[in-house]
């Protein structure tokens, strides 16, 4: 899936329940973490999904230097009822 979106170099994938949560997370990430570049948001339609409003949103973070702590990101995204996945 992510390879098709041209984002195979992403280090962290944060999964959020909706667009509003994803936008809030992007804003808060910049305030809480020192990021080299702004995260990307991508709508993740689930297979067989009838209602586009139910799509999850992904926040994609590049972290080639490995400076972001995965456990800290897990706790952070959990504040929005989301989770972190490895790409």
Whether 68 is covered by a domain: the verdict is: yes
pTM of the entire structure? 0.79
Total domain count, the chain: 1
Whether 24 is covered by a domain: the verdict is: yes
Whether 59 is covered by a domain: the verdict is: yes
The number of CA neighbours under 13 Å toward the Cβ of 30 is 9
Q: What CATH number has the domain bearing residue 74? A: 3.30.70
Whether 5 is covered by a domain: the verdict is: no
| Tens digit of pLDDT at every position of the chain (87 positions) | 454 444 446 689 999 999 999 999 999 998 898 888 889 999 987 655 555 556 799 999 988 878 889 999 999 999 999 999 976
Whether 4 is covered by a domain: the verdict is: no
37: left (phi over 0), alpha (psi -120 to 50) or beta: beta
Residue 75 lies in domain: 12-46+55-85
Distance CA 58, CA 40 (A): 8
E strands within the chain? Answer: 12-16, 40-44, 56-61, 83-85
């Amino acid at each position: 899936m992510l390879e098709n979106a041209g984002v195979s170099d992403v280090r962290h994938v944060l999964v959020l329940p909706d667009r509003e949560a994803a936008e809030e997370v992007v804003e808060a990430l910049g305030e809480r973490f020192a990021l080299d570049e702004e995260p990307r948001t991508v709508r993740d339609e689930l297979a067989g999904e009838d209602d586009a409003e139910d799509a999850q949103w992904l926040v994609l973070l590049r972290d080639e230097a490995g400076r972001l702590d995965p456990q800290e990101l897990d706790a952070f995204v959990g504040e929005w009822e989301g989770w972190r996945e490895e790409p």
